Amino acid sequence: MGSESLTTPLHQNHCELSARMVDFAGWSMPIQYEGIVAEHLATRQQVSLFDVSHMGRLSFSGANAAQFLDRISTRAVMPIQPGKIRYSLVCRADGAILDDVLIYHLNSTDGESHYSMVVNASNRSKIVDWFRQQPDACSVHDRTLETAMIAVQGPEAIRLVSRWLDWDASSLPYYSGAYRSGDFGGLTVSRTGYTGEDGVELIVGADQASEVWETLMSLGAEQGIRPAGLGARDTLRLEAAMPLYGHELSESIHVAQTGLDFAIQCSGREFVGKSSILEAREKGGLPVRVGLRLEGKRPAREGCEIYHQATRVGEITSGTFSPTLSTPIAMAYLNESAAKPGTTLEVDIRGKRHSAEVCHLPFYQRA
């Protein structure tokens, strides 16, 4: 653990739970508590708590906030109704992906609606700088260090949060958020997550985080709640085929090749990267994001090359052993000619070829 790592407001809780801590994007974070598979399955079957306070939390102010955000987002921001949250991408004019983000447009207690955003920890300072450099920038406030973020994920999550807040959290539609208040002060509850399960993410004041965590842990005991680390978060998001910045998304990947077309809205609006996206789509030929299932038990990892007979057709961006499916799974960028589901390919894992099949994404979808 680097001595200069940032710690989240839940650091003491992790230490008490004997978490294994690692440095991640400049933060000391729990990679696992009792084990990745146990935490993964608890999230699929019951409920778990994740400290995701390392994620960047930004808020925006100024009369031009909506117009500005609309211009730097691949997805239209102007139509986001108060109470709603949308996944979007931020790219440069040349289509290079700067980050993938959640844009929140929430009603606040003052009766006004405000825009805020959750960005990747690894991109926080880059993205703040990028926004502030824009000629039409609104005011950007970095709230990361004054708040904490806790994800409550799993089939029991909504019932647990409802009991805790004495409020029917199931009334919150997916990708919606609301401010709530309680003994612990105010918080933002959103019906979002990064696991492929139902659940919420909570943004609370840094001073309240530990109390909120402990309350949820004890209230959730009868539902089998467990703390879960970044290791399980990664296997869960991979099964759900959610991209991870630095793997499926980066500045060397064009936004048009990610397959995230639901988050790219070109018609009737102008935004940074639009002309590059239209050009890339017209030209075609860029590798596409696919899923792979491997034969046997050996997981392929990021960087493993993929072959169709003697021809190199792509590279793995994330790979693991799926605890739910009990098989190795991976996401990769493949040449379009080899990317059809059902195609049999070979993955080179440290010099040995292993058979793999292109499959439809996601690998896991909750019932």
Partner 1 sequence: MKLEELLYADTHEWVLVEDQDAAKIATVGISKFAVEQLTDLVYIELPSVGTETQSGKEFGEVESVKAVSPLYSPVDGEVVEVNESLKDALETLNDDAYDGGWMIKVRLSDEASLSKLLDHAAYEKQCADES
Q: Catalog residues that contact partner 1 under the rule CB under 8 A.
A: 31-32, 35-37, 231, 235, 296-299, 301, 320-321, 323, 328, 350
CB of 364 to partner 1, least distance (A): 15
Q: Give the torsion sign (CA, 221, 224, 228, 234).
A: negative
Least distance (Å) between residue 37 CB and partner 1: 5
For the chain, the first-to-last Cα distance in angstroms comes to 39
Shortest Å distance, C-beta 221 to partner 1: 23
CB of 16 to partner 1, least distance (A): 16
Q: Which of 197, 68, 67 shows the shortest CA–CA distance to 137?
A: 68
Structure-token pair, residue 54: 């390392």
Residue 327 beta carbon to partner 1: minimum distance, rounded to whole angstroms: 10
Q: How far is the CB of 344 from partner 1 (least distance, A)?
A: 21
* Other CB atoms within 10 Å distance of the CB of residue 114: 16
Burial status of residue 132 (CB atoms within 10 A of its CB: 0-12, 13-18, 19 or more): exposed
CB of 166 to partner 1, least distance (A): 38
Please identify, using beta-carbon distances, which residue of 37 and 266 lies nearer to partner 1. 37
Q: Based on CB atoms, which residue is closest to partner 1, 13 or 32? A: 32
Q: Smallest Cα–Cα separation from 229: which of 324, 143, 151, 154?
A: 151
Tell me how far, at minimum, the Cβ of 72 lies from partner 1, in Å. Answer: 35
Phi/psi for 198 (5° steps) reads -70, 160
In this complex, which beta carbon is closest to partner 1, that of residue 283 or of residue 350? Answer: 350
Residues 276, 282, 287: CA angle, nearest 5 degrees: 80
**What does the alpha-carbon distance between residue 307 and residue 315 come to, in Å, rounded to a whole number?**
9
Per residue, the 3-state secondary structure of 73-105, as one string, reads CCCCCCCCCCCEEEEEEEECCCCEEEEEEEEEE
- Judged by CB, which is closer to partner 1: 301, or 308? 301
- CB contact at 8 A, 12 and 34: no
**Nearer CB in complex with partner 1: 283/352:** 352
Which of residues 188 and 235 has its CB atom nearest to partner 1 in the complex? Answer: 235
Q: Is 151 exposed, middle or buried (0-12, 13-18, 19+ CB in 10 A)?
A: buried
What's the closest the beta carbon of residue 14 comes to partner 1, in angstroms?
16
Closer CB to partner 1, 35 or 182, in the complex: 35
Nearer of residues 267 and 326 to partner 1, judged by Cβ: 326
Q: Which is nearer to partner 1, 245 or 321 (CB)?
A: 321
Q: Name 364's Cβ contacts closer than 8 Å, sequence gap at least 6.
A: 196, 239, 240, 322, 324, 325
Work out the burial of residue 311: count CB atoms within 10 Å of its CB; fewer than 13 is exposed, 13-18 middle, 19 or more buried.
exposed
Whole-number Cα distances in Å, 240 to 196, 198, 226, 233: 5, 12, 20, 11
Q: Give the number of other CB atoms < 10 A from CB of residue 301.
A: 16
